[in-house]
Amino acid sequence: MKTTMSTWRQPRKWAPYLFVSPFFILFGVFGLFPLVFSIYLSLHSWDPAAGLAAMEWVGFENYLYALQSDDWLRASLYNTFWMALVSGLPQHLLAMPLAYFLHSAFGRWRNAVVGAYFLPFITSSVAISLVFSTLFSRDFGVVNAVLASLKDMPLLGALMPASNIDWAQPQYTKWMISFVVFWRYVGWNVVLYLSAIQTIPKDVLEAAVMDGANSWQKFVHVVLPLLKPMAFFAVTLTIIGNLQLFEEPFILTNGTGGIDQAGKTAAMHMYSVAFTDGDFGTASAIAWLLFMLIAAATWFNNRLLGQRD
């Protein structure tokens, strides 16, 4: 009979652990340690320039300060939720019917059309946000040029602004950022919903046609209910991604958050508290507050869409 020692001498016993160890070592050092240390930091007041010894235990004071006295945090949270909703909700409302339509249209050209919608998702957010800041410029931007040309059209023209919009003004900043975020991620959701529709058995859809359902009825009564699990997954991704929005607003507002910081998100606020103000303790507290909000939003989504019937 073999002892434990001798079984461990067999490579097939320990090799698997060796094979999966790189992930756990890297995650331990660069993932888990920073997270734990971040909790520790959030409970301390600390000027990083003064060295580790200057760290002072303050309990939940950073959290209380952030919640009670940090007006910019409140404003940035409002901005974050505003843009998460305005850019996120239309993504899903559009992606579902669009995916359904693409599923049965365009034949051999379908991949090309899906590709056009998907392309923004894989391109550099910095590069494309820079391009968008040209497109959105007041006097010579393409967006204003398009809006101006639509003015001559019947019906639609009445909705168009009388003069060029200054997109840098606080009342427009969030719309501009939301549009860019919508543009970047709508195709990703189309692709997700399309892949879910493709798993619906053909005979289910055919049975609906037999029963006299038209295309729209088929979508509402057959496809939509079957899309629920994917909607849960896709909306979860949108919530997590949108609530930590950083790169698009950062570039579109040149790192400042825009006039009156109208486009500053919570993640941007955390970044500037940490690296502009040098207040690592409060920044860590803000990070965890935002994390809790994201967790709450995902939980709410779970209640809404995640229940198994």
- Contact pick of 116, 153, 207, 296 for other proteins (by CB under 8 A): 116
Residues 41-60 that bind other proteins (CB under 8 A): 41, 48
Residues 21-40 that bind other proteins (CB under 8 A): 22-24, 26-27, 29-31, 33-35, 37-38
- Contact pick of 6, 7, 215, 302 for other proteins (by CB under 8 A): 215
Q: Does 93 bind other proteins (CB under 8 A)?
A: no
Q: Does 288 bind other proteins (CB under 8 A)?
A: yes
Residue number with CB closer to other proteins (6 or 111): 111
Return the range that interacts with other proteins (CB under 8 A); candidates 68-76, 82-90, 205-213, 220-228. Answer: 205-213
Q: State the nearest-atom distance from the C-beta of 56 to other proteins, in Å.
A: 16
| DSSP output for the chain | ---HHHHHHSHHHHHHHHHHHHHHHHHIIIIIHHHHHHHHHHTEE--GGG-GGG-EE-TTHHHHHHHHT-HHHHHHHHHHHHHHHHHHHHHHHHHHHHHHHHHHSSGGGHHHHHHHHHHHHHS-HHHHHHHHHHHT-TTT-HHHHHHHHHTTSTTHHHHS-SS---TTSHHHHHHHHHHHHHHHHHHHHHHHHHHHHTTS-HHHHHHHHHTT--HHHHIIIIIHHHHHHHHHHHHHHHHHHHHT--HHHHHHTTTTTSGGGTT--HHHHHHHHHHTS--HHHHHHHHHHHHHHHHHHHHHHHHHH----
- Contact pick of 72, 82, 175, 246 for other proteins (by CB under 8 A): 246
Q: State the nearest-atom distance from the C-beta of 262 to other proteins, in Å.
A: 18
Distance CA 291, CA 223 (A): 34
Residue number with CB closer to other proteins (174 or 242): 242
Q: Does 118 bind other proteins (CB under 8 A)?
A: yes
Q: State the nearest-atom distance from the C-beta of 255 to other proteins, in Å.
A: 8
Q: Does 83 bind other proteins (CB under 8 A)?
A: no
Residue number with CB closer to other proteins (82 or 246): 246
Per-residue contact track with other proteins, 216 to 245, x per CB under 8 A? --------------x--xx-----x---x-
Q: State the nearest-atom distance from the C-beta of 242 to other proteins, in Å.
A: 12
Q: Does 123 bind other proteins (CB under 8 A)?
A: yes
Q: Does 208 bind other proteins (CB under 8 A)?
A: no
Residues 6+ apart with CB under 8 A from 222: 200, 204, 205, 208, 213
